[in-house]
């Protein structure tokens, strides 16, 4: 054993001094690097451990601005990703998030917010040449399938034109316009050629409710009057009209329809004709007449486009009901009816 240590001592003493110095430098550098890595690792772990945990809130359904504020209150940051949805009303609201609600994360973490850009429709159709009723029914079908996409801007603009009455002549926005939000559609409607004559429908022998539906569908001015039933007449039927059936008159000629009072009315109900003078408008405006029972049940009696002047709408409603008239969606008249009289 003594001989081994003596040999090692002699080997060490015989080592080249320059080589020994070089080894010292290398080992010192490596040691410094290892020391710095250890310090960095310790610092990182201490920093991670020092951050508080916070719970990710439920962002779904919030608008983007409030969602960002809510995250900032929890020391979290938002990352936004936009996408289209099937509902126009979703525009600007949060559809989803990552991480999900209730996840515990470190303060300072990012939360991905998936924000709706609203529903997307590629391009606006060309509605010129369509009939007004056809267009209204088409837009109703879009609401059923996709939600509200287009809203007709009322009142419509009517002008004289060689096209048949009720034909769409112009539209704004123009065909081909991309739609990403609920859009107002303005249209110009033909009144037919200026001075042109239109045929008068034959209402004779028609029940009063059917006559009202036809008069509204024809979109010509009309009035309905009633009187008591006379011998040989049928209650609740059209007994005469002016102008005469199948005659040709200007489109703005008022069709006057005369009916007999219905006599078989269910107990607790009353028959009458609502007569009101409306302001005169340069174009036809949407008018709706509703009935509200004493119990609060609301029903629509008539929807039509009216240029103003005398409005006459026959009705059978519960005694004590309230009748209302709305113009352009705003209620203008409200009256209670009892026992065939309007109070």
Where is the domain boundary, 32, 50, 68? Answer: 50
Q: Is residue 122 part of a domain?
A: no
**162 and 244 together in one domain:** no
- What pLDDT does residue 136 have? 83
**222 and 282 together in one domain:** yes
**310 and 224 together in one domain:** yes
Q: Is residue 7 part of a domain?
A: yes
- What pLDDT does residue 9 have? 47
Work out the average pLDDT over 158-162.
Answer: 85
- Domain span at residue 226 reads 197-342
Q: Where residue 264 falls among pLDDT bands split at 50, 70, 90?
A: confident
b/e map of 162-195 (b: 16 or more CB within 10 Å)? ebebbbbbebeeeeeeebeeebebebbbbbbeee
- What pLDDT does residue 328 have? 87
How far is 317 from 290, CA to CA, in rounded Å? Answer: 10
2-20 per-position pLDDT tens digit: 554 444 444 444 456 666 6
- What pLDDT does residue 322 have? 97
Supply angle C-alpha 208, 210, 213, rounded to 5: 110
**215 and 333 together in one domain:** yes
200-246 per-position pLDDT tens digit: 999 999 999 999 999 999 889 999 999 999 998 999 999 999 999 99
- What pLDDT does residue 8 have? 43
Work out the average pLDDT over 267-284.
Answer: 90
- What pLDDT does residue 16 have? 64
**Higher local confidence (pLDDT), 298 or 195:** 298
Percentage, residues of the chain above pLDDT 70? 84
Work out the average pLDDT over 255-273.
Answer: 93
Where is the domain boundary, 116, 144, 159? Answer: 116
- What pLDDT does residue 276 have? 96
Q: Is residue 118 scored above 80 in pLDDT?
A: no
**84 and 148 together in one domain:** no
**245 and 299 together in one domain:** yes
**94 and 157 together in one domain:** no
Query: Average model confidence (pLDDT) for the chain?
Result: 84
The CATH number given to whatever domain includes residue 271 is 3.30.10.20
**Which residues touch 15 (CB under 8 Å, ≥6 apart)?**
none
Tell me the whole-structure pTM to 2 decimals: 0.50
- What pLDDT does residue 88 have? 60
Percentage, residues of the chain above pLDDT 90? 41
**217 and 261 together in one domain:** yes
**211 and 164 together in one domain:** no
How far is 102 from 105, CA to CA, in rounded Å? Answer: 9
**33 and 109 together in one domain:** no
**273 and 327 together in one domain:** yes
Count of domains observed in the chain: 4
Q: Is residue 124 part of a domain?
A: no
Residues in the chain: 343
Q: Is residue 121 part of a domain?
A: no
Q: Is residue 127 part of a domain?
A: no
Where is the domain boundary, 146, 164, 190? Answer: 190
Please check whether residue 242 is in contact with residue 292, taking contact to mean a CB–CB distance below 8 angstroms. Answer: no
Please check whether residue 274 is in contact with residue 317, taking contact to mean a CB–CB distance below 8 angstroms. Answer: no
Q: Which of 72-86, 161-175, 228-242, 319-333 has the lowest mean pLDDT?
A: 72-86
Q: Where residue 301 falls among pLDDT bands split at 50, 70, 90?
A: very high
Q: Which of 58, 56, 59, 60 is nearest to 104 (CA)?
A: 56
Q: Is residue 317 part of a domain?
A: yes
**179 and 205 together in one domain:** no
76-95 per-position pLDDT tens digit: 988 988 877 766 667 788 98
Q: Is residue 182 part of a domain?
A: yes
The CATH number given to whatever domain includes residue 160 is 3.30.10
Work out the average pLDDT over 321-325.
Answer: 97
């Amino acid at each position: 054993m003594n001989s081994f240590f003596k040999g090692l001592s002699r080997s060490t003493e015989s080592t080249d001094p320059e080589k020994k110095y070089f080894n010292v430098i290398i080992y010192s550098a490596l040691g410094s690097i290892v020391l710095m890595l250890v310090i960095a690792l310790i610092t990182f772990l201490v920093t991670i451990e020092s951050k508080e945990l916070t719970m990710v809130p439920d962002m779904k359904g919030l608008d983007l601005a409030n969602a960002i504020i809510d995250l900032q209150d929890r020391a979290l940051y938002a990352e936004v990703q936009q996408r289209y949805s099937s509902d126009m009303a979703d525009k600007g609201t949060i559809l989803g998030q990552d991480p999900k609600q209730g996840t515990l994360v470190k303060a300072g973490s990012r939360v991905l917010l998936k924000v709706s850009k609203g529903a997307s429709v590629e391009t606006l159709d060309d509605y010129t040449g369509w009939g007004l009723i056809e267009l209204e029914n088409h837009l109703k079908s879009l609401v059923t399938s996709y939600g509200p996409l287009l809203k007709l801007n009322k009142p419509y603009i009517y002008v004289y034109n060689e096209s048949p009455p009720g034909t769409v002549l112009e539209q704004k926005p123009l065909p081909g316009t991309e739609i990403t939000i609920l859009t107002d559609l303005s249209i110009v409607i033909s009144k037919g050629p200026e001075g042109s004559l239109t045929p008068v429908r034959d209402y004779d022998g028609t029940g009063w409710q059917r006559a009202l539906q036809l008069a509204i569908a024809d979109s010509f001015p009309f009035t309905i009057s009633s009187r008591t039933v006379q011998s040989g007449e049928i209650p609740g039927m059209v007994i005469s009209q002016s102008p005469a059936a199948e005659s040709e008159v200007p489109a703005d000629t008022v069709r006057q329809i005369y009916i007999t009072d219905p006599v078989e009315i269910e107990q607790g109900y009353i028959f009458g004709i609502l007569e009101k003078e409306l302001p005169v408008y340069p174009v036809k405006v949407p008018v709706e007449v509703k009935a509200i029972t004493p119990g609060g049940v609301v029903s629509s009696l008539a929807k039509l486009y009216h240029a103003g002047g005398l409005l006459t709408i026959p009705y059978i409603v519960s005694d004590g009901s309230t009748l209302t008239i709305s113009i352009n969606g705003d209620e203008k008249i409200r009256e209670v009816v009892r026992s065939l009289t309007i109070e």
